[in-house]
Amino acid sequence: MLKDFAHYLVVSVFGMDPGRLSGALEFFIYDSIKIFLLLSVIIFVVSVIRSYFPPERTKRILSHKREFIGNILAALLGVVTPFCSCSAVPLFIGFVEAGVPLGVTFSFLISSPMVNEVAVVLLWGLFGWKIALIYMGTGLLVAIFAGFIIGKLKLERWVEEYVYKIRSLGGAAGIVKQAFKERLVYARASTAEILRKVWLYVVVAIGIGGFIHGYVPEDFLVRYAGPQNPFGVPVAVALGVPLYSNAAGVIPIVYALMEKGMSMGTVLAFMMAVTALSLPEMIILRKVLKIKLLAVFVGIMTITIIGVGYLFNAIL
């Protein structure tokens, strides 16, 4: 139905002759409508769920949780708890103060920017549900694993001392009870805000699919970054670590790379490196973490993500 509509629009309304350009335009319109419908619906639903998990509740759930179980919970809660890197420091302090174990806190901090509904929907819309599920599953595993290792290493002494001295004024923090209607209002506002932030990236990504498609040879990157090249994954990850972007921002690049023959594992590893690790976030986290802990964090993440890349290049 959507396809027919796109065809009708291009041929009858715009009056274009059927050909390569009109085909590309049809594809572009069809994909845009499809992905924005998906995005709107899923972000709205996730936002409603999200309204039940404000950071205060997540903190309470994770407080004094055992390792491993705590890491799994933290990674899952990272998906639905709203978080932006500008709040990383107060959130970190709040978690530590409430007795959330360090490794569990890390699982949350890793999963939150990397695995979220925007990333999953965009991957689903552009590459199919399998890729979306694989990204989500491995993203969670990376967050659980890296957080677990950091917990096992007992690196609490490498957290800035003042963090442990902060005592909440107490009593102030309460979870506001919301009526269901209020949650819907919140979800609508949240959906609008997220869409406003990501729509341009999404259009660019779809544009790459629709127009650049066919103009650069399909296997352009195969030689350099195909599954046969053992250095493809580490190079992609090394390039991705300092880059800073949210999941939506990196999608156009991911699409272009995949279109031109970069292998799946390498692309997913690149996307994880970009979203989970970034220079600005490191600078923000430096306020609460000593440089050694920051280095361990980046090291563990880099190695884990490279591992994921190799694994998928081998099995996909």
Partner 1 sequence: MEIKVLGPGCANCHKMEEMTKRAVTELGIDAKIEKITDIGQIAMHGILATPGLIVNGKIKHSGKPLPSLEKIKEVIKGEF
Residues of the shown chain interacting with partner 1 in the complex, contacts defined by CB under 8 A: 54-56, 59, 82-84, 86-87, 89-91, 93-95, 97, 162, 166-174, 176, 186, 189-190, 192-193, 287
Q: How far is the CB of 193 from partner 1 (least distance, A)?
A: 5
* Sequence-ordered list of residues with C-beta below 8 angstroms from that of 230, at least 6 positions apart, any chain: none
β-partners of residue 159 are 289
For residues 32 and 190, which CB has a smaller minimum distance to partner 1 in the complex? 190
- CA 124 to the chain's CA centroid: 13
Instruction: Dump the DSSP string for 146-183.
Output: HHHHHHHTT-GGGB-HHHHH-----S---PPP--HHHH
For residues 220 and 244, which CB has a smaller minimum distance to partner 1 in the complex? 244
For residues 61 and 238, which CB has a smaller minimum distance to partner 1 in the complex? 61
Q: Which amino acid is at 288?
A: V
Q: How far is the CB of 94 from partner 1 (least distance, A)?
A: 5
Instruction: Dump the DSSP string for 45-111.
Output: HHHHHHTT--HHHHHHHHTTPPTTHHHHHHHHHHHHS---GGGHHHHHHHHHHTT--HHHHHHHHHH
β-partners of residue 289 are 159
Q: How far is the CB of 242 from partner 1 (least distance, A)?
A: 22
For residues 176 and 315, which CB has a smaller minimum distance to partner 1 in the complex? 176
Q: How far is the CB of 106 from partner 1 (least distance, A)?
A: 16
For residues 30 and 106, which CB has a smaller minimum distance to partner 1 in the complex? 106
Q: How far is the CB of 44 from partner 1 (least distance, A)?
A: 13
Residue found under tokens 């800035």: 160
